């Protein structure tokens, strides 16, 4: 018996307004009518035709799914359930991008005699939910977009690359560096970096000179923005140490558009992957990690001479010591404005996102332009750490890395 396909889904994907297509709840089941590999200058793409037995539409697989084709897990005529997808307009054409899937069956023949969905247009009610068949696990209700009062279409960060044009992302600013001067100061060169995140992925962004003047003050950490007309570029070797897991970065320009999103969204505040301080000795120097710890000691603000490509500069820094449930203590170095304005109560719980692992004094941690520090984060792990310290940690013995001896 053939698996049941989601009747009508391909006609909806191919013909409904884009704002409605992107509100379809995933988990619909289709058959792969064909798989075609397209070579480009930078990487290969896989285009597929997905069918619901009556109609079919063209789609492309996200790069993270390419291995399922090359490994033979996904083949022509496979019946799949699409767990996540998005739809966007590229060069005037509607493109469906499958972000995640799982295979239901690889042993069935072609189901039905589907025709192109573009030849079977179906009207969509303006305010009524549109469903296919009965409301069971194979039915897909579609609702008008509620997250954008203007009904604009946005692309997930994981779907934009140098070949995608006319995109708009909706992302939260989870980190923003101070403005740094590059080159000779008299030349006026300056730059800043930002870290953006949506439901799908993170991406770093950088702006130089005029972009600093037009964009820097518009971005506030923690807020959500619509961003468009920025260049998507490959991450160069110079910026590969950012700790952001994305092969691309955004390059802000003076014409980049930034508009704050005032509607409620499902974008998380920040995602962490915490590791215990005791495991730092097992990790490579200059790699990055997330740390959740309790503030133990705060050192004085210092002015230090730093060697740059353009010469010697004086920068401010501050060392602090932190501890966690692994009963280890390590030093964290703060730089610049963050060091000057650092203010936290004794024994505060602090979370770090993408803090750099240094090799000085055994192991230490260093804040970089891409690092994010949050004092008293409102997350479950922070409450558990506080409870542990109050009950056990305050009387426990801790092992310190040698770096902690210098504050």
Domains parsed from the chain with CATH numbers: 9-119 (2.40.50.140), 157-260 (2.40.50.140), 277-405 (2.40.50.140)
Res. 308 pLDDT band, cuts 50 70 90: low
214 burial (CB, 10 Å; 0-12 / 13-18 / 19+) is middle
Band of the pLDDT at 330, cuts 50, 70, 90?
Answer: very high
Any bridge partners for residue 46, and if so which? 37
Locus of tokens 């005791």? 278
pLDDT of residue 189: 80
- Number of Cβ within a 10 Å radius of residue 389: 19
**Which whole number is the average pLDDT over 219-235?**
90
Q: Which of 25-39, 171-185, 289-303, 393-407 has the highest mean pLDDT?
A: 289-303
User: 402 — phi, psi (to 5°)?
Assistant: -55, -25
Rg (CA), the chain: 25
pLDDT (0 to 100) of residue 119: 54
Span 346-379, pLDDT tens digits: 899 999 998 999 887 678 999 987 788 999 988 8
Please report the pLDDT score of residue 160 as a whole number.
Answer: 87
Closest CA to 51 of 68, 34, 27: 34
The pLDDT value given to residue 139: 32
Residue 322: beta bridge partners? 295, 330
- The two tokens of residue 169 are 């992302």
88-92, 203-207, 320-324, 370-374: least confidently modelled range: 88-92
Confidence check: pLDDT of 252 > 90:
yes
Top mean-pLDDT range of 49-53, 66-70, 119-123, 179-183: 49-53
CA angle, 16 then 149 then 263, to 5°: 125
pLDDT tens-place string over residues 136-149? 333 333 333 334 54
How is 35-92 classified by DSSP, letter by letter?
EEEEE-SS-EEEEEEEE-SSEEEEEEE-GGGHHHHHTTSS-TT-EEEEEEEEEEEETT
Residue 266 has pLDDT above 70, yes or no: yes
- Please answer whether residues 175 and 219 qualify as being in contact, where contact means their C-beta atoms are separated by less than 8 angstroms: no
Q: What band does 265 get if pLDDT is binned at 50, 70 and 90? A: confident
The two structure tokens encoding residue 102? 């799982």
- Residue 147: per-residue pLDDT: 41
What backbone torsions phi and psi does residue 255 show, to the nearest 5 degrees? -95, 5
- For residue 330 the two structure tokens come to 């390590």
- pLDDT of the residue at 327: 93
φ and ψ at residue 128, rounded to 5 degrees: -90, 145
pLDDT digit string, tens, across residues 70-102:
888 999 999 999 988 877 766 567 778 888 899
- Closest to 9 measured CA to CA, from 92, 120, 93, 158: 120
SS3 per residue for 332-393: EEEEHHHHHHCCCCCCCEEEEEEEEEECCCCCEEECCCCCEEEECCCCHHHHHHHHHHHHCH
pLDDT band at 42 (very low <50, low <70, confident <90, very high): low
């Amino acid at each position: 018996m053939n698996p049941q396909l989601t009747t009508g889904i391909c006609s909806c994907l191919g013909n409904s307004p884009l704002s409605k297509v992107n509100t379809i709840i995933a988990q619909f089941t289709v058959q792969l009518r064909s798989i075609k590999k397209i070579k480009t200058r930078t990487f290969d793409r896989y285009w597929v035709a997905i069918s619901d037995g009556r109609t079919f539409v063209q789609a492309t697989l996200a790069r993270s799914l390419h291995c399922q084709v090359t490994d033979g897990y996904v083949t022509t005529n496979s019946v799949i359930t699409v767990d996540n997808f998005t739809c966007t307009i590229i060069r005037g054409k509607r493109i469906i991008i499958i972000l995640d899937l799982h295979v239901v069956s690889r042993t069935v023949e072609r189901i039905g005699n589907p025709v192109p969905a573009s030849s079977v247009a179906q009207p969509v009610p303006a305010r009524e939910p549109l469903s296919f068949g009965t409301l069971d696990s194979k039915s897909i209700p579609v609702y008008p977009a509620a997250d954008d009062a203007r009904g604009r279409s946005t692309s997930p960060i994981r779907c934009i690359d140098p070949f995608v044009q006319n995109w708009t992302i909706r992302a939260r600013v989870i980190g923003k560096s101070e403005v740094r001067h590059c080159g000779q100061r008299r030349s006026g060169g300056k730059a800043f970096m930002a870290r953006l995140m949506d439901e799908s992925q993170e991406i770093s962004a950088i702006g130089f000179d005029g972009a600093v003047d037009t964009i820097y003050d518009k971005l506030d950490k923690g807020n959500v923005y619509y961003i468009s007309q920025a260049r998507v570029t490959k991450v160069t070797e110079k910026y590969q140490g950012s700790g952001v897991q994305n092969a691309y970065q955004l390059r802000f320009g003076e014409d980049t558009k930034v508009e704050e999103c005032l509607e409620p969204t499902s974008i998380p505040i920040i995602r962490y992957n915490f590791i215990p301080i005791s495991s730092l000795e097992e990790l490579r120097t200059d790699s990055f990690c997330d740390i959740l710890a309790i503030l133990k000691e705060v050192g004085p603000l210092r002015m230090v001479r730093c060697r740059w490509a353009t010469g010697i500069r004086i920068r401010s820094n501050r060392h602090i010591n932190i501890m966690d449930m692994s009963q280890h203590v390590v030093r964290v170095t703060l730089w610049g404005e963050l060091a000057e304005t650092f203010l936290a109560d004794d024994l505060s719980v602090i979370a770090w996102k993408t803090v750099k692992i240094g090799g000085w004094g055994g192991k230490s941690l260093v804040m970089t332009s891409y690092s994010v520090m949050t004092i008293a984060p409102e997350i479950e792990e922070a409450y558990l750490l506080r409870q542990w310290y109050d009950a056990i940690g305050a009387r426990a013995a801790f092992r310190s890395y040698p770096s902690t001896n210098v504050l």
